[in-house]
Every structure is written in C-alpha cells, then in structure tokens.
Structure 1
C-alpha cells in the first residue's frame, strides 16, 4: 500500500492563493489607473450605464464643436455688420445738399470717397472664413459678388454699372436737347396762344406729367394732365397752357413732374417784364402768341436744366435699382431707340452682380444657414448680400461713385477759351457782352453741377435714412438677429458645459474607484494572502510518517 507523503490538499490551497493574487493584481491596477476596468468587457453590470453616458458626452462634444465653429463665423459677421453701419453713417455725412465745401472740395472728392466705400462693401460681402463665404446664403462655396472694378466697369465685353447707367440716362432723355426728359412742347399754328407739353409714349422712362397750376388764373388757363387718346388708358399724357390776357410780373406757372425713381420735381416759370428774362422766367407781352412763344422757350430751357439735374440724379439711382436687382439679373432698356421698356438681361450682355442664393419672396434669409445646438434647438444665421440693407448701401455708393460734379474752377477751365476770346475784343460793349455771356455759361453749368450733386445727395440720404432701420433686411435688423443667434449659442454652450460636468461626475462614479476603499481592500487582501502563505507552508509540511513510531 502507498501512503501519500503529505495529507494537505495542495491543489485546493494553491488555487485559492492564485485567486487572491489575481484579485490583488486587479486592485493594484485599479489603484494605479483610478478606473474599475481597463476595457468595457470588464465593466460588468456597470457597462450599460457607462455606454449611455459616453454616448451622451460624445454628442455634447459634437454640439460644442459646432457651436465653436458658428461662434467664429458670427464674430466675423458681427465685425462686418458694425463696419457696414459705420459706412452707412459716413455716407450720410459725406454728401449733404448745399454742402459743397471750400472751393467745391466736396464736389471733387465725393466720387472718390464713394468708390472707396463701394470697394470696401464689395470686399466685405465677399468675406470668407476657412473657405466658407458668409454673405451668399446657402451658396457658401463661391464669392457672391464679382470684384468692385468689374461691377462698375464691366468685363469680357459685358456692361458694368457705368455702362448701364449711360443706357438708362439715354432712355430717360437726360441729355436730349430736343425732348428733355422725353417731353415735347409744341404750339399749334391754329392756336398760337396755347403751349402743349406732351409725353412721347407710355413707358417707364423720363419725366411723367403730374400736376399743373398757375397763380394767374384769369390770364393763364392751364389744363391737364389728360390722355392723348381718351379711349386708351395706357396712352401718353399732355398738358396745356393758354394765354388769355397779360399776367402780372411775379405770377407763376408750376408744372409737377414724376421722375423714374418715383420722386417728384417742379418746373416753375415766373412772368417778368425783363427782356431777356432770367433763368426760370418768361417775358410777358401784349400779344398772346408772342407770350406763348416766350413761355415755350423758357419752358424748354427749364426742362433741359431739370433733366440735367433732378432727372439725371433720379435716372442714376433708377439705373442702380435696375443693375443691382434683388435676383442679381440686370434690367436693361429695350426697344427703340428711344427705349420703350425695361427687360431682364436675357442675352447675358451685362455683369450679373449677385450669384449667391436669391431666395423666394417672403422667406427668411436667416434660415438659409442653420446650426444644431442640441437635439431640439438650432440657430439660424444665414445672410444674403441681396437683402435690403446691403442693396441700399451698394446702390447708393455705386451711383455716387460713377457721378462727376464739376467745380466752378473746372467749369471756368472748360470755357476759358471764351474768356480769352472776349478779352481779346476791344474795350466796350462788345467785350462786356462777351464776358457776360462767358459768366452766364459758367454760372449756368455750375448751377447744373451743384443741382445734380444736391439731387444725388438727397437720394443718398433717403436711401440710407435711419427711417429704414426697422425694415426687414436692414443693417440694424440683421445685426440684432445675429446678436440673438450669438446669445442662443452662449446659452447652449453654458447648458452643455453644466450637463457635461454632471455626466463626467456620473461617469467617474460608474467607471472610477474610491481610492481609499481600494487601498483598504488591498491591505486586507494582502493580510489574508500572507496568512494563506504561512498556513499553506506549515500545513504542507505535515506527514503521517512523521507520527508513526
């Protein structure tokens, strides 16, 4: 019979010690890493909670990154909007009616300053952040506008704004000496005391007859405006002035005219006994036919002056509306000549100023670009360069940039040959008359220059008036909406930070350890392991042989 040397069950003892050693190793790793497990498979019953919290934290990180990106874009937009508002204020201050500056300095510097502002506006509207353009709505991959030089002067054989402005002024009859503003005055030989003023057709160009009145109702009969064809409501209009007696000097005939941009002007002709009469006056005469002829001459001259001042300014701003349209497609005078209609550029003969997202009538440009801030909230921050605030800035500065206003010195230089010729005449009435004619030319043309400047300045002030601040798409409204978006982002960011802190604490509780508890467990396990080693050592030495005597 074989008797075992040891009666102690070694396999069982070593197995228990091995398990304690594994447990000690696990506790040591936990103490070193601060985590309950080194991989998800070791998480046990805490695994579902760990996965859920980590998934939520991952979403928060994504939203936070999105918020940071949008905040960067909004900061650029905010700086741009502040500068747009400043440019608006600068433009209002730069051109004031009647403010020509010393020696007409404002007349000389106005176009250059407007060109610089226009260039800055275009540059900012083509702003991009990290390859993404900010002012084209959903179209973020390309600049929404051509450069400022192309917009003003054209390129590749296509008309720019300057070229379209010239077409529009020609269509409006700005420089038409025979029919200024496309109005024609006539005297029928059968009624020599009657002057008729007639539009040249039904179209959107030139002066439109609006009102007529007189302060001499007993000696001057006025009529109209009436249709040239009473059966056709779209026919042209006409007015009549009939002289039935001798007006008193100082009495006035006033003709109201509507211009292409919807504004009104008046031509006033004052009766006078002077011959020749001053500008804006007609010489009275006992013969009604002669007086009608005098009135017609004065009317034609005043219409010409109004065409080269008020109408020219209105035509320039109308051209700005035609070229810088909301849909980016220029409207070009068509038909004729002279032109009879405005038509969208179907032949691609002009530069299309805006190639970003146009949108649909009544939609909200802000919603063209959105950013999610969490599962249920989003921020809208899209901006389009064709919104009303930008259009007012672009149109007004383009119109001012392409317009020239000769100073008195410029006008004198233009007619200096007349002065030299007059001075070359012998002293006497001939020289005096020639010099007076020279001075009259200078004064008349300089009045037209300042009149044109005043018309342009008045329209710029109207376009950039603070009264437009409450309109949808104004610089101020867009700035406010960007501020609201920025505030929403800040609120979402703070909300995410607070929630993230809570989730991280929960994840720490789920995946982390209590270091004190783990250290105590290690000490306890160490004590048990040492005791096991000692007991195993002693018991393993027991043998029945040692007790058989």
Structure 2
C-alpha cells in the first residue's frame, strides 16, 4: 500500500508541533533583538498599522530639527545686530549730549566734540561690519561681502594701483565748504561798496550798497547764499530794491540810505541756503561800534560815512554768517551726499564741477567710482521698508520671520552724517568766530543725529529686530514642545520598553522550554513504553 507522507497517520500533529516550535523560536529572536536594540522592529513594514504614523512623525521631526537649526543661527545674528545698532544709536545720542553741553564753553568743547565725534564715527562704521559665522549682518541679501568699507578709507580716502588719489569723506566736505563760501568767504555773494561799480556796471552813489549772487549763471541755487528779496529795515532811513535772477543775470539787491538812522534802527537781509533753509543777517545802528562787530554799525557824521560804516559791518556780518551757518550747512550736506551713495545701487557721491576759466563751481556730477570712495558695498534695495525682508527665517511650515537689515538705511545714514558733520566741520579753537560756528554745527548735526532716537530712527530698527528676536525665541519654544509631543508618540510606536520585552522574553523562554521537553518525551514514546 502506498502512503502519501504529508497525509500519513500522525503527520499533521508532527507538522503542527514543528510549526509552533518555529513560531516560538521566531518570537524569541524578535524579542531578543528588541531587548538588544530597544526598537520594536528593524523595518517600518514590521510596525504594522503604526508604520504610517511613524513615517509622518519622522518627517515632522526632521522638519522641526531643520527649523531649530535655522532659528538658532538667526537668533545669534539678530541679537548681534541689535547690539551693534544699539551702539550706533547710543553714539548718536552721546554726540548730541556732548554738543549741547559744549555750548556753555565752546572754545574748550570744540576739541572734545570733534574728538568724540571722530571716535564714534569710526566705531559706528566698524560696528556695521559685524558678522556671525562669516555671514555679514548689514549687507541686506548680500551676506558674503563686507558691507562697509574700512573706516580709514571712508574718512581719509585712498589711492588706486597707479597712485592716483581716491577721495574720501574729509575731501568731499572740504570741497563743499570751499565751494559754498567762495574765495572771499561771503557765501559767494558779491558786495559793492558805496561809490563802486557793480558786476552789472552800475556805479553806486556814496549812500548806496549793492549785493549780487554769484555772477556765474546757474551757480546761485546750488552753492553759497542766494538773495531772496530786498533788505528790510526799521525806521525810515533805508530804501531797498530787489532784482530777481534771469537766464543771464543773477539776482541782486541795492540798499540806499535816504536819511540818517536813529540809534536802535536795524537792517535785515534774508538769505537762502542751497538746501532751501533760510538765514538772516541783522545790523543795528549804534552811537559807536567796534571795528570787528558783526551785529552793529556806527551812525556817522553824515549819510556817506554811515553808509560806509554799514557796508563794512555788512561785510563782516556776511563773512561771519558764511563761516558759521553756511559752513555747517555745507558740511552736513556733503556728509549726507556721501552716505547716500551705494556701490550695489551703482551710485557714487556727487562731486563738484568747476569752470576751468573762472574757477567757479557750476554744479554737480556723479563721481566716478575710481575717483571717490563708495562707503556701502552691500545689497541695496528700493528703500528702507524692504530691508527687514532681505533675510527671512522659516520657523514653521507656514510662517517665517524677517530679520534683515542694511547699513545704508536712512536713519543710520543720518547718524553717520551727523557724526561726520561734527568731526570735520567743527572750527579750530583759534577761529575768531568759534562760538557762532560751534552753534551752527551743533544745530545742523543735531538735526541729523536726531535719527538716533527720533522716529524714524535707528532705535526703531533696534526695536524691530528685537521683536524679531523675541519671535524666534517663541517659535523655538513652540517647536520644541511640538517636537517633544511627536517624539513621544513616535517612541510609543517604535520603542520597545525593556521591562515589557524582558517579561515577554522570560515567558516565551519558559513556554519554549516546556514545548521542547514535551516534544522530546513524545519522540521517545512507543507501544512497549506505553504498555509498561
């Protein structure tokens, strides 16, 4: 009789026992592996229904880890930027304080203000080159290029490879002051004394004084003082006329004394500066007047003598005003012009064009980069409003925080220009007009230094970046909490608790040992053994 082995008598029980033993052996191997690795399974496929949740959790944790790295780097950069700009704002505020305190003793504090401004300007420029891990913070989108040229180069200029000079800030301020004051130091005004001949070939009487703008066409609106109308006077001793400018002639005014002024009567001349602001010169009639006075003139024995005295006093007053108010204005304008330039935007500081024949300034032209230092080398956008957006940090799947900044934002430019105005515009203590000049410099510089803490200000930028830093901290805290929660869920799926695995392993070992013993006993069973 033929027997089919798999279906032979007793074969099913034998196969079943073998399968059960192999299954228990497989469980033993799995539990041993879990005990050794701490993992529920070595492949996602063996996680069963939890594999989809585990895969999703791993992806989320990976993304959160990436966000954490970006947040950490951005937090360091942002905090350093806040510290740097806080220092710049403090320098501007400190400079204002020093200037205002110096008004009490200008000859002494002229030197103190100049030295403090120069030191602060150099330090501010260095602060704007701050970097973190080789990444510059004040260059906008360009984080690999040093955004600000070296302080020495900016202030004093340099030379090219052929030894030709490249002008720095100090040179531009000096050029602007010289162009505004003119060779006679009267703000490019031409004064004709009584009995003289005006630039228009008009002969004056002994009771007349004439003033005219710079006689070079087009120069009056860009350099020096510009006449805005006739002189005004108290009392009835003066008659003054005004001739507005034409395409070929400058504006002019003529002062004619028709009677002797009374003591206390005054003459006032209004003057316009190139930036549109106004200045005025006032002279008051007195019985006697010092020969150096810039505020009064002596009433003479007759009208011609009084007119001469007025003319001489007017010359001194114009020189004093030009050497203080106009000079301070020129220094401030030159500094603003310099710091408005940007290499990345393709702009360079405007340079003065001079007529080769007359030597008079005729206007401005954009300076060649090979002739003038361009202080800002970073990325330059359309304006201050997008500076923060030049660098953003992704803090979650749906949100980001803007942490960018540029060294050439307007408030920063103004503070730098204010410091430069003091550093290079302040007069020497030997200047006879030092008091008035100090006050004029202080007034012009303070209007620029106000950008340190008066909105829109450097302090506003500090506040924005501080808020961004706080936002990064909050995002990091939220992400950490989320990551911990997801990690706990993932651990519940992937991790095999040692205590549980050990218990299961001992139980399985006991069952497997019992199965082996029973199987071994059954394998020795026979009819003889059974009957015995």
Which TM bucket (shorter chain)? Answer: 0.7 to 0.9
2:269 — aligned with what? 255
- Is this contact kept in 2: 1:326–1:358, CA < 8 A? no
Distance of aligned partners of 1:354 and 1:477 in 2 relative to their CA distance in 1, 3 Å threshold = same
Structure 1 position 457, deviation (Å): 1.6
Structure 1 position 547, deviation (Å): 6.9
Q: Secondary structure at the match of 1:254?
A: strand
Matched, 1:300 2:300: no
Matched, 1:498 2:512: no
Matched, 1:83 2:87: yes
Q: Secondary structure at the match of 1:52?
A: helix
2:131 — aligned with what? 128
Deviations 1:457-478 (A, max 9, x none): 222222223796221xx21110
1:456 — aligned with what? 441
Q: Secondary structure at the match of 2:61?
A: helix
Structure 1 position 534, deviation (Å): 2.2
Matched, 1:158 2:175: no
Deviations 1:394-417 (A, max 9, x none): 11212222245333xxx4xxxxxx
Structure 1 position 206, deviation (Å): 0.4
Structure 1 position 510, deviation (Å): 1.5
1:53 — aligned with what? 57
Residues 45-194 of structure 1: pairs in structure 2 closer than 5 A: 45-96=49-100, 99=103, 101=105, 104-156=107-159, 157-173=165-181, 176-177=183-184, 180-186=186-192, 187=196, 188-189=202-203, 191-194=205-208
Matched, 1:206 2:220: no
Structure 1 position 393, deviation (Å): 1.7
1:20 — aligned with what? 24
Matched, 1:219 2:237: yes
Q: How far apart, CA to CA, are the structure 2 residues paired with 1:118 and 1:219?
A: 51
Residues 386-405 of structure 1: pairs in structure 2 closer than 5 A: 386-405=408-427
- Is this contact kept in 2: 1:165–1:320, CA < 8 A? yes
Residue from 428, 451, 456 that aligns with 1:406: 428
Q: How far apart, CA to CA, are the structure 1 residues paired with 2:450 and 2:512?
A: 89
Distance of aligned partners of 1:377 and 1:236 in 2 relative to their CA distance in 1, 3 Å threshold = farther
Q: How far apart, CA to CA, are the structure 2 residues paired with 1:340 and 1:100?
A: 39
2:516 — aligned with what? 533
Structure 1 position 519, deviation (Å): 4.3
- Is this contact kept in 2: 1:133–1:143, CA < 8 A? yes
Q: How far apart, CA to CA, are the structure 2 residues paired with 1:461 and 1:274?
A: 37
Structure 1 position 218, deviation (Å): 1.6
Deviations 1:422-474 (A, max 9, x none): xxxxxxxxxxxxxxxxxxxxxxx43x122222211222222223796221xx2
C-alpha RMSD of the superposition: 2.8
- Is this contact kept in 1: 2:89–2:452, CA < 8 A? no
Length, aligned pairs only? 502
2:162 — aligned with what? none
- Is this contact kept in 2: 1:136–1:385, CA < 8 A? yes
Structure 1 position 114, deviation (Å): 1.4
- Is this contact kept in 1: 2:39–2:495, CA < 8 A? yes
Q: How far apart, CA to CA, are the structure 2 residues paired with 1:56 and 1:511?
A: 15
Q: How far apart, CA to CA, are the structure 1 residues paired with 2:476 and 2:104?
A: 53
Range moving further from structure 2, 491-500 or 326-335 = 326-335
Structure 1 position 289, deviation (Å): 4.1
Matched, 1:368 2:353: no
Residue from 39, 44, 47 that aligns with 1:40: 44
2:209 — aligned with what? 195
Structure 1 position 190, deviation (Å): 5.3
Distance of aligned partners of 1:37 and 1:166 in 2 relative to their CA distance in 1, 3 Å threshold = same
Q: Secondary structure at the match of 1:402?
A: helix
Q: How far apart, CA to CA, are the structure 1 residues paired with 2:525 and 2:410?
A: 102
2:245 — aligned with what? 228
TM-score normalised over the length of structure 2: 0.87
Q: Secondary structure at the match of 1:250?
A: coil
